[in-house]
Structures are given as structure tokens and as C-alpha cells.
Amino acid sequence: MDWKRRARLGALLTVLPIIPAALWWSRSHRTLDDPPGIRLEVSLSARELNVIEHGTIVRTYSIAVGRRSHPTPTGTFRTGQIVWNPSWRPPPVDWARDLDYQPPGAPANPMQGVKIYFQSPDYFIHGTNDPESIGEAASHGCIRMTTRDAVHLARRIELAGGSVPLSIGR
């Protein structure tokens, strides 16, 4: 009988360390239905940007999108470089021909707080010096947010590793 008790105790001591490891593994390995991390989804018609974590919308931001003459690109992207307190240099296009360089934080700088690349070199998610444009088709293709919302989103992207999937649809 003593050997049976020892065998049970040995089996129990062998299995006990496996249980926490199995729990850790099951929580750290997601299924295809439960994508890891965060992703962003933009609805151009609703003028909203949703932050989705593990399949659940955790935050919705109101945004401004590209006007008809300068539409925001649609498709699947990844966020790229995040530039804090960016300056603004007019792009070499007709609409910006008579505009001047704007240093970081300048009231006339159309990119306030942060810019998050999603299609280099011309398209960003960024804060704006024109918060009244939020909810409108008002930009030259970028996604505008209030400065506070853009900074909050950029911090969230940094915490998620610095680059997240972005889907932009009509």
C-alpha cells in the first residue's frame, strides 16, 4: 500500500506544475476568431475611427476625412512612424503652392500634437488646428482628429508595439 500512495503523490507532484503552464499557454495563444492586439477600422461615410481589441470596439473617435477632390485612400494599411509635435511642410502640389512651412506647435500648423503615418509619404492620422472640421469631408486625404484624440490614439498604438493594422472603408 505504501508504494501506491507514493505513486499517487509522485503523479500529483508531476501534474501540479503543468496546470499553471497550461493556463498561461491557453491565455497567451489566441484563436483565429480572437485576433491579438489592436486594430483600427475607419468608416469614411460615418466619419468614425474604431479601436478594436480582441474583436470588441473599445473606443470610437469622430474624424474628418478627405474631401471629394482629395479623397482618403481606402484599403488595408499598417500604421507607421509616429511623429510627436510635428512641423508641417507644404507638399509639392498645386493646392499648397502659396502656403508656408509651419513649425511644431504653430497655430497655423495643420498637424497638431502628433502625426501617424499610414501611407507614406502623404497620408497620416493627425491632430488638427481646425477642430470644427471633425465630422466633415475637409482634409486633403488625411484622417484628422482632435489633437487630444490623436495623442491618445498614438499612445495606444505605441503601447501595442508601434504599428497596428488599419482598415479604411467607405
CA separation (Å) from 21 to 25, 32, 37, 80?
A: 6, 21, 22, 35
Co-location of 45 and 14 in the same domain: no
* pLDDT one-digit tens code per residue, 35-83: 568 999 999 999 999 999 999 999 999 999 999 999 999 999 999 999 9
Lowest-pLDDT choice from 4-13, 21-30, 39-48, 61-70:
21-30
Please report, for the domain that includes residue 65, its CATH number.
2.40.440.10
Asked if 126 is an active-site residue, the reply is yes
What is the rounded CA–CA span in Å between residue 114 and residue 162? 14
- Give which of 46, 109, 49 is closest to 83, Cα–Cα: 109
3-class DSSP state for residue 89? Answer: coil
Co-location of 158 and 101 in the same domain: yes
- Give which of 130, 137, 111 is closest to 122, Cα–Cα: 111
Co-location of 127 and 66 in the same domain: yes
Co-location of 8 and 42 in the same domain: no
- Write the burial class of residue 151 (CB in 10 Å: 0-12 exposed, 13-18 middle, 19+ buried): middle
> What pTM was estimated for this model as a whole?
0.78
Instruction: Name the active-site residue from 54, 70, 140, 142.
Output: 142
Asked if 70 is an active-site residue, the reply is no
Give the model's pLDDT for residue 51.
98
Co-location of 42 and 126 in the same domain: yes
Instruction: Name the active-site residue from 54, 126, 140, 152.
Output: 126
Q: Name the β-bridge partners of 102.
A: 88
Give the model's pLDDT for residue 120.
84
Domain with 5, as residue range(s), is 1-30
User: Looking at per-residue confidence, does 12 or 9 come out higher?
Assistant: 9
* pLDDT one-digit tens code per residue, 87-132: 999 988 898 999 999 999 999 999 999 999 999 888 999 999 999 9
Co-location of 19 and 81 in the same domain: no
| pLDDT above 50: residue 34 | no
Co-location of 56 and 3 in the same domain: no
Co-location of 89 and 123 in the same domain: yes
Co-location of 20 and 87 in the same domain: no
Co-location of 2 and 54 in the same domain: no
Q: Which residues contact 49 (CB under 8 A, 6 or more apart)?
A: 40, 41, 42, 60, 61, 63, 125, 143, 145, 153
Q: How many domains does the chain have?
A: 2
